[in-house]
Amino acid sequence: MARVLVIGANGQIGKHLVSKIKEKGHDPVAMVRKEEQVSQFKEQDIETVLGDLEKDFSHAFENVDTVVFAAGSGPHTGADKTIIIDQEGAIETIDNTISKGIKNFVMLSGLPVDGPKGTGDGMKPYFYAKYRADQYLQDTDLNYTILRPGLLTDKDETGKVQIVEHDEASSDATSGEVPRADVAEVLAHIVDQNDLKSQIYYLIGGDTDIKDAL
């Protein structure tokens, strides 16, 4: 049983994720930014910790076995907030993980196979931020997995996906959709497997059961 810190637990994927981690027999710790976000997790008997990615949140990493970064600035913020949260927040999370002696890290990312330069102007700050954070993680000695999903939707969970490893990925690997609930299940499965081999996966909807896809 692992104690798993989820950064971005109040996000649309994060809310699913902490519940799924608990269902798999682990102890999630939901990091949230505001006191009013705590009660929804306490109702599920899920531990919370207050932390703000724009401030010092190093206290959140005590007695943790695995860290999952699932935070995001959201689609309606400016480029400055995207850099602060999706890039610098992720990098500081990685630094805190290392400084606390934690070895396992799971990154929820998002990036076309061919990198951020070919993306439309509106998404460039987001993809550059994710790219920089992923590169920073890859340059560490952490046991990590980076998950890069396709277009996120709010459709019902299917339990079936297509997962492609980085070395085998093509542009088709990120051209599809995937429900957020399925993304959360894949992340929870990665945490539960605890087999983080410095791997990058691309995720879209598919026909393979999640338990068989990894």
- Structural domains of the chain ordered from first start: 3-213 (3.40.50.720)
Across the beta sheet with 143-149, the strand order is 47-50, 27-32, 3-7, 66-69, 104-108, 143-149, 199-205, 160-165, 208-209
Active site residue 131: no
Does the CA dihedral 42-46-52-55 come out positive or negative? Answer: positive
pLDDT at 59: 98
User: So what's the pLDDT on residue 102?
Assistant: 98
pLDDT of the residue at 173: 57
Tell me what pLDDT residue 118 has: 61
On whether the CB atoms of residues 111 and 90 are closer than 8 A, the answer is no
Residues 156, 160, 163, CA angle at the centre, nearest 5°? 120
Say which DSSP state 41 is in: H
Residue 163: predicted pLDDT: 94
Q: How far is CA 68 from the centre of its chain?
A: 6
Averages of pLDDT over runs of 10 residues in the chain (214 residues) are 97 98 98 97 97 97 98 79 94 98 96 67 82 96 96 96 80 79 98 94 95 92
The predicted structure's pLDDT at residue 75: 60
Q: Can you tell me the distance from the alpha carbon of 25 to that of 1, in angstroms, rounded to the nearest whole number?
A: 6
Give the other-Cβ count within 10 Å of 205's Cβ: 18
Reduced to 3 states (helix: H, G, I; strand: E, B; else coil), residue 180 is: helix
- What per-residue confidence (pLDDT) applies to 79? 84
Active-site residue (options: 126, 131, 144, 201): 126
